């Protein structure tokens, strides 16, 4: 098959993740604006209590959690295009609606719609890109993260431009909503690879018996979807308060360092994978680096550590670990790519909702001083668990490979 005809489709799909990069992090950048708009209480230092905004951010995970059980089967049964169009429509609604929400409850509802959008894009873009680039599926999937990183690197500059031009903070949300809607029109008409449903009628019963058999290693891999997401989601949405606590003059710079780290990780990881490094090995190495960095952040409480931490965590936590986890899971279940993507992303969504909700609680209880520190401790614990899970997955994979060679 000539896959080059699908390259424009891949560009349009990657662009949805560019917008997702904005949608996933922009609420964290405008927490004070939303807290003011939704009537949050004023703290002693004159800022607003942002815990309600963090709770709304967590609702993105709830939306994913609600929709992922059926977004994967829809993608496998009705095609990637349908899943992508649903995702685009929901994302436009989320971006356009949340900035005009009169209170937290309405904002929460639109955040759930944003989570639904994310799940349908996950189950469209990930399988599609792996099908468009069959020889480099893991690398192709990592470039979804690259698209997000470009957006997250540019976002602080966009925020600065909006502020210096005296434009309302809603500007970026509206522009992003319009952009993804236009991209959705392209997705509706561009060609997609045919989903592999070639099994004959006489073999369908056998396929049903064989598919989706979960081993302890595959369950551990799904759990890595939880831990890897927790590491970067906690940092992405709570680093501003930590930067202020440590005396960083402009905490928004953390976002740019974070995005640069993610760029570097994706490029370096792509080269390493093409040279033969197993994706499963990266699932150990990068979370271990993240854990070490978080421990350093906890003990070295100076402004510059936040910038260094932003880069390192952008590299090691957000630099494609979740995407490599999904790719590895897709390889385990090649006939159920949409479903296994849904399952791993369900674990990611549980993290997004439960861990970010818990982080919101820690911020509210701990206040401006203890809250950010307690969030770092939470992140250390979750990340270390992820390292242990990855070690187990690698041990089991090595055993399986040896067994196959002997056979």
Inside any domain, residue 376: yes
Residue 210 has a pLDDT of 58
Dist CA 149 CA 71 (whole Å): 24
Residue 96 has a pLDDT of 94
| Cα-based distances in Å from 250 to 133, 243, 256 | 41, 8, 11
CATH code where residue 8 lies: 1.20.1250.20
Inside any domain, residue 230: yes
Give pLDDT tens digits along the chain (407 positions).
Answer: 667 888 899 999 999 999 998 988 888 888 888 998 998 888 777 778 888 888 898 888 889 888 878 888 888 888 889 999 999 999 999 999 999 999 999 999 999 999 999 889 988 988 888 888 877 766 777 788 788 888 888 888 898 899 899 999 899 999 999 999 999 999 999 988 876 554 444 444 444 445 567 888 889 989 999 999 999 888 887 888 899 889 988 887 888 898 889 888 888 887 888 888 887 888 999 999 999 999 999 999 999 999 999 999 999 987 778 878 887 887 777 777 777 877 887 888 888 788 888 888 888 887 777 888 999 999 999 999 999 999 998 898 888 778 777 65
- Long-range contacts for 253-257 (Cβ within 8 Å, ≥24 apart)? 253/156, 253/307, 253/310, 254/306, 254/307, 254/309, 254/310, 255/25, 255/29, 255/152, 255/153, 255/155, 255/156, 255/310, 256/153, 256/156, 256/157, 256/310, 257/307, 257/308, 257/310, 257/311, 257/314
Inside any domain, residue 197: no
Residue 193 has a pLDDT of 84
Residue 200 has a pLDDT of 41
Inside any domain, residue 210: no
- Cβ contacts of 287 within 8 Å, gap of 6 or more: 227, 228, 231, 316, 317, 321, 383, 386, 387, 390
Residue 195 has a pLDDT of 67
Put residue 166 in one of left, alpha, beta given phi > 0 → left and psi -120 to 50 → alpha.
Answer: left
Q: Give this prediction's pTM.
A: 0.75
Tell how far CA 26 is from the center of its chain: 13
Residue 295 has a pLDDT of 96
Specify the residue for token string 């436009």: 92
- Domain of residue 388 covers 3-191+215-406
Count the domains in the chain. Answer: 1
Residue 300 has a pLDDT of 92
Residue 211 has a pLDDT of 53
Inside any domain, residue 202: no
Inside any domain, residue 283: yes
Residue 196 has a pLDDT of 59
Instruction: Decide if 242 contacts 372 (C-beta within 8 A).
Output: yes
Inside any domain, residue 203: no
Inside any domain, residue 208: no
Report the chain's C-alpha Rg in angstroms. Answer: 21
């Amino acid at each position: 098959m000539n896959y080059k005809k699908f390259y424009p489709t891949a560009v349009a799909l990657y662009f949805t993740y560019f917008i997702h990069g904005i949608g996933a992090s922009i609420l964290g950048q405008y927490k004070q604006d939303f807290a003011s708009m939704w009537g949050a209480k004023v703290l002693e230092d004159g800022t607003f209590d942002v815990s309600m905004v963090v709770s709304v951010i967590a609702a993105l995970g709830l939306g994913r959690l609600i929709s992922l059980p059926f977004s994967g089967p829809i993608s496998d049964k009705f095609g990637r295009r349908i899943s992508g169009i649903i995702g685009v429509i929901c994302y436009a609604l989320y971006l356009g609606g949340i900035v005009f929400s009169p209170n937290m409850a309405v904002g929460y509802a639109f955040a759930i719609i944003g989570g639904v959008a994310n799940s349908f894009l996950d189950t469209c873009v990930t399988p599609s890109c792996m099908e468009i680039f069959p020889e480099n599926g893991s690398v192709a999937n990592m470039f979804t993260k690259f698209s997000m990183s470009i957006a997250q690197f540019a976002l602080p500059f966009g925020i600065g431009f909006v502020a210096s031009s005296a434009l309302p903070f809603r500007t970026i949300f509206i522009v992003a909503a319009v952009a993804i809607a236009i991209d959705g029109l392209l997705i509706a008409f561009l060609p997609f690879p045919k989903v592999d449903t070639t099994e004959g009628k006489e073999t369908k019963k056998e396929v049903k018996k064989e598919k989706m058999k979960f081993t302890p290693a595959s369950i551990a891999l799904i759990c890595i979807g939880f831990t890897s997401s927790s590491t970067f989601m906690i940092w992405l949405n709570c680093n501003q308060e930590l930067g202020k606590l440590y005396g960083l003059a402009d905490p928004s710079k953390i976002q740019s360092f974070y995005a640069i780290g993610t760029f570097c990780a994706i490029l370096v990881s792509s080269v390493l994978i093409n040279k033969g490094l197993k994706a499963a090995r990266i699932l150990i190495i990068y979370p271990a680096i993240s854990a070490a960095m978080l421990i350093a952040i906890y003990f070295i409480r100076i402004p510059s550590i936040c910038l260094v931490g932003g880069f390192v965590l952008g590299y090691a936590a957000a630099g494609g670990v979740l995407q490599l986890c999904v790719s590895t899971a897709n390889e385990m279940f090649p006939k159920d790519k949409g479903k296994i993507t849904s399952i791993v992303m369900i674990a990611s969504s549980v993290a997004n909702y439960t861990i970010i909700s818990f982080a919101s609680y820690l911020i509210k209880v701990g206040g401006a001083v203890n809250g950010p520190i307690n969030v770092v401790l939470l992140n250390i614990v979750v990340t270390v668990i992820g390292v242990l899970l990855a070690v187990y997955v690698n041990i089991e994979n090595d055993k399986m490979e040896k067994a196959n060679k002997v056979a």
